[in-house]
Amino acid sequence: MSSEIEIVEEDAVALSNDRESAVVNGGNSNNGIAVVGEDSLKNDVYTAAAYGDLEKLHRLVESEGCSVSVPDNLGYYALQWAALNNRTAAAQYIIEHGGDVNAVDHTGQTALHWTAVRGAIQVAELLLKEGARVNAADMYGYQTTHVAAQYGQTAFLYHIVSKWNADPDVPDFDGRSPLHWAAYKGFADSIRLLLFLDSYRGRQDREGCTPLHWGAIRGNLEACTVLVQAGKKEDLMVTDNTGLTPAQLASDKNHRQVAFFLGNARRLLDKQCDGNNRLGRLSKLGLAPVLWFINILLLLIYIYSVILASNLPKLTTCFGLFAWLAVFLANAGLVMFYRCSRYLWSEQFDILRYRRIQVTLE
């Protein structure tokens, strides 16, 4: 199966390799980013920013008049190199001397995008405080949350979402959310976080693929397991634009373990009681309805045998007030008991169900 996912991924990996090479080589990349000679490696603001060399930055900017607000030969800014390597002091210096926190390179990315590559929370915090746009998108529609998901930077992702209100479920120009990317790259912790942040696991991109399709295409068993555990039977039955389910895609890509897991998960879910009917809901509640009924019966006995009993002395106003207060609190307790039991029994039911799936896989 020829997949648009793979085509886009090649471009993303190329850019990713460029960035990582820059981290190691201090701005010298064999893949095309900031290709410079040995002499310029010692005397340009981009290398100084990448290494966080404040002394060199001071000399180049203040003594030699070099600018920190112009890009290098390939369109990347000194602030981006500082952001990539989490050089907070260098980034602060660049901003103070004319660096634009929202400057975009030839791919449309800002320094904030580059902080997401290695989870540079300190520099990201600095950039955002200085006015960086948290929702800035590059030429592919990738926002900072997409880049963080692509690199599995879970802590960084949580920080910008919880503190700076970044959108954890925004689609890129191909309809792919950060959850799609985390699933494709196999970052299970990032998937768990995105699901906790209410990312839509059923979102289909322009190829009709959900995050589960992406995990299956790449053969990421843990990612698929997390998505199945958080989802429903319907998630396993969604087809892409070619008519393939996640299990069929995994089989098509020869990821046998994932295909076996997804196939067994669907069969086991088919055997379970449907949670939308009365029997299914009752099975999730377990013994809670029985205990609830017993408590109501005891409460009624208390009311008619103690408070309203005709063969006992009439209660005084004070004791009557306390008696009816006890009845009110008992009813409130029953309501809370019912609500908690629904949640806990449903959760335990799901845990037991997916343990069976995992045991079957093993």
In the chain, the percentage of residues whose pLDDT exceeds 70 is 75
Query: What total number of domains does the chain contain?
Result: 3
pLDDT tens readout for residues 188-234: 999 999 999 999 999 999 999 999 999 999 999 999 999 999 988 88
Q: For the residues 87-106, what does the mean pLDDT come to?
A: 96
Any idea which of 41-55, 119-133, 224-238 has the lowest mean pLDDT? 41-55
pLDDT tens readout for residues 164-183: 999 999 999 999 999 999 99
Identify whether 173 is part of a domain: no
- pLDDT at position 342 is 55
The residue out of 256, 271, 286 marking a domain boundary is: 271
Tell me the Ramachandran region of residue 180: left when phi exceeds 0, alpha when psi lies from -120 to 50, beta otherwise: alpha
Identify whether 178 is part of a domain: no
CATH assignment of the domain containing 189:
1.25.40.20
Token look-up 């169900």 returns 353
Burial call 27-51: b when 16+ CB within 10 Å, e when fewer: bbbeeebbebeeebbeebbbbbbbb
Give yes or no: residues 190 and 133 share one domain. Answer: no
CA–CA distance, 88 with 96 (Å, rounded to integer): 12
Give yes or no: residues 266 and 345 share one domain. Answer: no
Give yes or no: residues 153 and 51 share one domain. Answer: yes
Give yes or no: residues 262 and 321 share one domain. Answer: no
**Among 54, 111, 41, 43, CA closest to 77:** 111
Give yes or no: residues 116 and 200 share one domain. Answer: no
**Among 116, 102, 168, CA closest to 12:** 116
Give yes or no: residues 10 and 144 share one domain. Answer: yes
CA–CA distance, 38 with 28 (Å, rounded to integer): 9
CB atoms within 10 A of CB 198: 9
Identify whether 50 is part of a domain: yes
The residue out of 216, 251, 271 marking a domain boundary is: 271
- pLDDT at position 286 is 58
Whether pTM exceeds 0.75: no
pLDDT tens readout for residues 313-357: 777 778 778 777 877 787 787 777 766 655 554 444 454 444 544
Give yes or no: residues 197 and 228 share one domain. Answer: yes
Give yes or no: residues 21 and 79 share one domain. Answer: yes
Identify whether 174 is part of a domain: no
- Whole domain around residue 218: which residue ranges? 185-271
Identify whether 172 is part of a domain: no
Q: What average pLDDT is seen over the chain?
A: 81
Identify whether 5 is part of a domain: yes
Give yes or no: residues 305 and 234 share one domain. Answer: no
Instruction: Indicate the DSSP class of residue 303.
Output: I
Give yes or no: residues 296 and 218 share one domain. Answer: no
Give yes or no: residues 65 and 163 share one domain. Answer: yes
- pLDDT at position 38 is 43
The residue out of 271, 300, 320 marking a domain boundary is: 271
Q: Is the pLDDT of residue 26 over 90?
A: no
What are the Cα distances from residue 267, in Å, to 113, 202, 213?
Answer: 42, 20, 18
Q: For the residues 138-143, what does the mean pLDDT come to?
A: 97
Give yes or no: residues 2 and 124 share one domain. Answer: yes
pLDDT tens readout for residues 51-63: 999 999 999 999 8
Identify whether 16 is part of a domain: yes
Identify whether 180 is part of a domain: no
User: What does the CA dihedral 300, 302, 305, 307 come to, rounded to 10 degrees?
Assistant: -110
